A = this chain, B = another copy of it.
Amino acid sequence: MRITVPAGGVGAARFLRGLRAAVPDADITVIGNTGDDFAPFGLHVCPDLDTVMYTLGGGISEEQGWGRDGESHVVLSELAAYGAGPGWFGLGDLDIATHILRTQLLAEGRTLSEATRVLCDRWQPGVTLLPMSDDPVRTHVTVELDGRDQVVHFQEWWVRLHAAVPARKIEAVGAATAKPAPGVIEAIDAADFVLLPPSNPVVSTGVILAVPGIADAIRAKTVVGVSPIIGGAPVRGMADACLAAIGVQTSAIAVGAHYGADLLDGWLVDDRDKDAVEAPELAGIAVRNRPLYMTSVAASAEIARAAVELALEVLQ
């Protein structure tokens, strides 16, 4: 079975860990969002790719959901002693090694795909992890700060400002001219179906879909999504703040309708959102409800199994 999964960070990583457990023989390709990438201290950091890689490779901090287990922060403290920032992005020493190596590989002329392969050679995530593009895409957020509109990098809004300042606009700069990374379109075309994990519909899945060619390729396939919204609130993170910026309600129905019937064939929602099953907004989409909290690897595997079963059902 071949499954392709466009992925954001923590939610996607946990879903993928469940998927790998649910269908161990499946050939899984992950298309990682790179719109969150940024370069604190000149180090090329790929938060979403790394969260997937560390989670599937067994190196993740389970407590945080991102970053490395058993982390220390000597380098960051030392950079702070130099007065260098940003200090608000919690780069640990183990994690920094990943970024140093990636930055070195890129400086030597390797693509992000190639660098990702080198890093995965160590972590052996059990999936093929591809960046959505080797071209730079940066998610920028327009916020009102100090009485005027300012454009900040997504990470600054998300991590430093905790998305507490309303976003007026969210833009994936560079997406319109980015090319899908080698293997991305091929992996979608070759897939039996595509699964959308419970990632942020705007800044994760939305950014991946903004790379020309990817959305069209996905629309041609059977697609089942897992709602990142449960009972009117994001399972994790601040997806509500992102949805507000694009005028979409924070509900399983609204997010399903935002993806739409021309993308989605199936939509998995939580039991609390079972009104979505018969919702007219989701006409043409097979909606199923079940518990969606990924409280353990076993729970994630059950959710992933339900997504696979729904995909196989709508495939027929």
Judge whether A42 and B96 touch: CB under 8 Å: no
The reply to whether the CB of A79 lies closer than 8 angstroms to some CB of chain B is yes
The residue in chain B whose Cβ has the minimal distance to the Cβ of A79 is B97
Mark each residue of chain A from 81 to 119: 1 if its CB lies under 8 Å from any CB of chain B, else 0: 111100000000110111011011001100000000011
Find chain B residues with CB under 8 A from A79 CB: 97, 100-101
Identify A100's interface contact among B43, B72, B98, CB under 8 A: B43
Judge whether A122 and B74 touch: CB under 8 Å: no
Identify A82's interface contact among B78, B81, B119, CB under 8 A: B119
Judge whether B82 and A42 touch: CB under 8 Å: no
Q: Chain copies in the assembly?
A: 2
Interface residues of A in 278-301 (CB under 8 A from B): none
Bound-complex Cα distance A169 to B119 (A): 38
Bound-complex Cα distance A293 to B215 (A): 72
Judge whether A82 and B97 touch: CB under 8 Å: yes
With A75-B96, A93-B75, A93-B93 already in contact, the answer to whether A81 and B122 are too (CB < 8 A) is yes
Find chain B residues with CB under 8 A from A83 CB: 121-122
Kindly name the residue among A42, A76, A119 whose own CB sees the greatest number of chain B CB atoms within 10 A.
Answer: A42
Judge whether B122 and A93 touch: CB under 8 Å: no
Bound-complex Cα distance A41 to B100 (A): 7
With A42-B103, A104-B41 already in contact, the answer to whether A97 and B75 are too (CB < 8 A) is yes
Bound-complex Cα distance A82 to B96 (A): 12
With A43-B100, A103-B42 already in contact, the answer to whether A122 and B82 are too (CB < 8 A) is yes
| 10 smallest beta-carbon distances between A and B, as pairs | A78-B97, A42-B104, A74-B93, A75-B97, A79-B97, A42-B107, A41-B100, A78-B94, A41-B104, A82-B122
* Interface set of A (CB-CB < 8 Å, partner B): 41-43, 72, 74-76, 78-79, 81-84, 93-94, 96-98, 100-101, 103-104, 107-108, 118-119, 121-122
